[in-house]
Chain A
Amino acid sequence: MTTNATPTVLFAGNPNAGKTTLFNLLTGARAKVGNYPGVTVDRREAKLKLDDGSHSTVVDLPGAYSLTARSAEERVAIEALLAAGSATPAAVVVVLDATTLGRGLYFATQVLEVGLPTVIALTMIDEAKKLGMVIDHAKLAASLGCAVVPVVATRGDGKDELVRAIRDAVTSVPARSPLRRFDAELEADITVVEDALVAATMGSRSDEAAKRRLRVLAQWALLSIGDDELTGVAAGVREAVERVRSDAKRANRDVDRELVTARYKRVDPLLRDVLGEKAGPVKRLSSRIDDVLVHPVWGLLVFVGVMFVVFQALFAWAEPLMGLIESGVDALSAFAKAELPEGAFTDLLVNGIIAGVGNVVVFVPQIAILFVFITLLEDSGYLARVAFVIDRIMAKVGLNGKAFVPMLSGFACAIPAVMATRTIESRRDRLLTMLVVPLMSCSARLPIYVLMTSVVFDPSDKVFGFLSTGALVLFAMYVTSVVAALGVAFVLGRTALKGPRPTLVIELPPYRMPRAINIGRATTSRVRRFLADAGTVILALTILLWALLNYPKDSVSEARFEQMRAVATADADEEARQAALAEIDAEQAGERLRNSAAGRAGRLFEPALEPLGFDWKIGVGLIGAFAAREVFVSTLGLVYDVSDATEEDQGLHAKLRAAKHRDGSRVFTPLTGVALMVFFVLACQCMSTLAVVRRESGSWKWPAFMFGYMTSLAYLVTLVVYQVGRAFGWGV
């Protein structure tokens, strides 16, 4: 036990037990949110001032129903509890929901076996009282051998008592709660695994504390190893676990069942002991709310309504804020351009750094809005119902109901949508959702659809005499995106991400009033993490892309433009001079782009793009669009010598309509337009998405895979669309 460093106090408990509310109540100050090394699980810690004036570091562990951990993410809790040496926690606070005490005690007794000084915080006692449950917490404390403090976190009741109990736990000599053994057969099994753990130096029997840890670790191994996603488990330990399990099976025993049942057999009598007579069955308010909210008819209507509000908020409410950020960035660029001398540095600052920061900050409104809603839904309990209501449909393609909110958010923007996959517990399900979310047609694709439909279709074009062709094509793009996302999920779930049969086992927690402070903290921490992690990658990629689109510069052509400029400046007529200069600027920008690495790459890739109906200029646009899809429009404008082009720019429309292939045929036929839109639906034309997937999946492997499959899919489907269309003479 260390005495010099600030002692660490762990907060552990079931999900929905009010752990976060209690954590916020106790620590008050802003929590420091970081990552556990190697996994994408938030690590929240904060300072807690004890009543003797000393400080502790409180760490909020991820919510769990048990110490079983089949993946690195789940293992975070048990690793923190079993940490030895200087990292040994000084105390643990187990947060128990009084209304589901039995399930909570299963977890609490596991934690108590670790032998750390433990305090039980009994939350929701007000709710339990309403249900006619009276808990004898003194008896509970005596039976478990640790302090039990009833609290009502939402009102702050019991806060001082809890702080006092934590101080006692931290400062007193640890009095380990008594250890109760299982029956002889099960104890023998545990010993076999303990021996293997010692042999593999994953544990030791050096002292009493180490023996306690070893025993907990052995039980963890027995329940977790096999069909797991764990790394760093010694082969000897795996073998021992397999051997114990198969030996037991031969003797007609089931170790898993015995371990879990034995623990519940201890918990259940204890529960009867501490729980006063129940005053008959009381129908919970939650249950009555659910009679409406998951009703076969009203439930679906509520579902559609709630999802519509979330979507509307993400799509429409973020818009003005994003516009504000964009004009702010524009103003800053203009200011820098006006104040600083012209040159490579200013160009880098304006078009690389300022634009890059803009590319990052522009996502903040959508991320913030989505996380306000997600936290609101999660804390109120409705998010679990969203999964409950829609699971049947999602199950058909191998996803689970929890994938719905991220997929829906994908229509607005993949960045917040990918971040929203954090609400999915299973790593496989989370990855699968993350990989298909970018196929949902996001709002950044819209300017491209608008540009293409207005260039290649006549607004008076009608199908069946009343449907506008452009609108129909637009609708088809959205259908394509949904079909692609679900189809790819179906295929990936059976190939690259094949795993055990996907399941949906989720608690439907009682409805509770969400707390503004929790929502605010969850949202700000999400935004901060995005800016710090994904943001830096996006900024770096923007600068790289800027360099590709601007360098190398051709000195001969630069000199030629200087000369043209000198001639134009000599013009006495003010208006003519300005017009001539503007024209030279536009032409020079186009020339620079054509000479740049991206311009050259566009020409290099032209043979590959030709079968899709694209020319090299579209290729350059595609490279530019990688910064953000909507940039395609302005990049295309640059290649066609139209400066500051927008999707509604008549000049750009005219130039695109007039564009010709080398053989003199039109480039932008309706077929090319449709092919280009299909390409944009399916291709991963967004470096920010890649950056955020790297952040959320924990490695570059998955964004690389995503980029690969989306680009191949986009290429193949576009190829088929264009070639079949041409063969039948559609829209050429």
Chain B
Amino acid sequence: MQSTLSDLSIGERGVIEVVTAARPLAVRLMELGLVEGTEVRIKRRAPLGDPLELELRGYSLSIRADEARCVRVRREP
């Protein structure tokens, strides 16, 4: 089964497989470091439930759940 970043629960880790978003967004996400093989952890959700806070490459990035659905990941135990 294929998972996306939005399927991961808080605290869970995943390894990026591919960013499936449309162009401008895809380039932005990849340049921010969401490229194949990068480990990402879902840190928390915003108080109102969206957006998400991700932790990758030593920094925190906030993206909306809509955007997280465009990032395919492999679940890490």
Which A residues fall within an 8 A CB radius of B?
Answer: 65-66, 68, 70, 99-103, 106, 131, 223, 226-228, 256-257, 260-261, 264, 286-287, 290, 294-297, 299-300, 303, 384, 387-393, 395, 401, 500-501, 503-510
Contact = CB atoms under 8 A, between A and B. Distances in A.
A100 B58 contact: yes
A106 to B, nearest CB: 7
A294 B27 contact: no
A508 B62 contact: yes
B50 to A, nearest CB: 5
A62 to B, nearest CB: 16
B44 A68 contact: no
Contacts of A299: 47
Nearest to B57: A102
B57 A388 contact: no
B28 A505 contact: yes
Given A260-B27, A261-B30, A500-B22, A507 B61 contact: yes
A300 B33 contact: no
B36 A388 contact: no
Given A299-B47, A388-B53, A389-B48, A507 B60 contact: yes
Contact of A256 (B27, B44, B47, B48): B27
A4 B51 CA distance: 53
Given A100-B57, A260-B31, A387-B62, 8 more contacts: A65-B31, A388-B51, A388-B62, A391-B64, A501-B22, A504-B64, A505-B28, A506-B61
20 contacts: A65-B31, A103-B59, A106-B33, A227-B23, A257-B30, A260-B30, A290-B44, A294-B47, A296-B47, A300-B47, A389-B46, A389-B48, A390-B48, A391-B64, A392-B50, A401-B51, A503-B25, A503-B66, A505-B28, A505-B29
A440 B57 CA distance: 40
Nearest to A261: B35
A507 B59 contact: yes
A506 B31 contact: no
B63 A504 contact: yes
Contact of A505 (B48, B53, B63): B63
A508 B61 contact: yes
Contacts of B49: 392
Interface residues of B, number: 36
Nearest to B38: A264
A395 B64 contact: yes
Given A389-B46, A392-B48, A500 B24 contact: yes
Contact of A65 (B19, B23, B32, B62): B32
A100 B59 contact: yes
B51 A223 contact: no
Most chain A C-beta atoms within 10 Å of own C-beta, residue among B26, B27, B61: B27
B8 interface: no
A621 B59 CA distance: 55
A257 to B, nearest CB: 7
A226 B23 CA distance: 8
B71 to A, nearest CB: 11
Contacts of A228: 24
A294 B29 contact: no
Contacts of B28: 65, 68, 503, 505
A635 B59 CA distance: 57
Contacts of A256: 23, 26-27, 30
A575 B53 CA distance: 75
B18 A101 contact: no
Nearest to B61: A507
B31 A68 contact: yes
Which A-B residue pairs are the 3 nearest by beta carbons?
A508-B60, A392-B48, A260-B30
B54 to A, nearest CB: 9
Nearest to A226: B23
A660 to B, nearest CB: 53
A641 to B, nearest CB: 55
A193 to B, nearest CB: 15
Given A101-B58, A257-B19, A392-B51, A505 B33 contact: no
A227 B24 contact: yes
A294 B46 contact: yes
A384 B31 CA distance: 19
B57 A384 contact: no
Contact of A102 (B33, B47, B53): B33
Contacts of B31: 65-66, 68, 106, 223, 260
Contact of A393 (B30, B48, B53): B48
A395 B33 contact: no
A532 B60 CA distance: 38
B58 A506 contact: no
Given A391-B46, A508-B53, A99 B60 contact: no
A503 B62 contact: no
Contacts of A102: 33, 57-58
A500 B48 CA distance: 24
Contacts of A286: 60
B25 A384 contact: no
B61 to A, nearest CB: 6
Contacts of A261: 30, 35-36
Contacts of B27: 68, 223, 256, 260
Contacts of B18: 257
A264 B62 contact: no
A368 B59 CA distance: 32
A185 to B, nearest CB: 17
Nearest to A110: B31
Nearest to B49: A392
A503 B64 contact: yes
Contacts of A393: 48
A703 to B, nearest CB: 28
Given A391-B64, A505-B28, A103 B48 contact: no
A98 to B, nearest CB: 9
A395 B51 CA distance: 10
A299 B64 CA distance: 18
B34 to A, nearest CB: 9
Most chain A C-beta atoms within 10 Å of own C-beta, residue among B33, B44, B58, B62: B58
Given A504-B64, A505-B25, A103 B57 contact: yes
Contacts of A103: 32-33, 57, 59
B59 A99 contact: yes
Contacts of B35: 257, 260-261, 264
A294 to B, nearest CB: 6
Contact of A294 (B22, B38, B44, B50): B44
A511 to B, nearest CB: 11
Most chain B C-beta atoms within 10 Å of own C-beta, residue among A295, A303, A504: A504
A260 B28 CA distance: 10
A106 B23 CA distance: 19
Contacts of B59: 99-100, 103, 507, 509-510
Nearest to A298: B47
Nearest to B25: A503
Contacts of A392: 46, 48-51
Contacts of A264: 33, 35, 38
Nearest to B31: A66
A261 B18 CA distance: 11
